[in-house]
Amino acid sequence: MAFIAFYIVAIAILVAHFTGWLARHNVEWLVLVLAAAVFPAVIFL
CA distance 1 to 33: 20
Mean pLDDT by 10 residues, the chain (45 residues): 89 96 96 91 79
Domains contained in the chain, number: 1
Measure the CA–CA gap between 22 and 27, rounded to whole angstroms.
5
pLDDT score for 41: 78
Count of beta carbons in the 10 Å neighbourhood of residue 31: 15
Instruction: Confirm if 39 and 10 have CB atoms less than 8 A apart.
Output: no
Tally of residues, the chain: 45
Residue 32 is part of which domain span? 2-44
Global pTM?
0.79
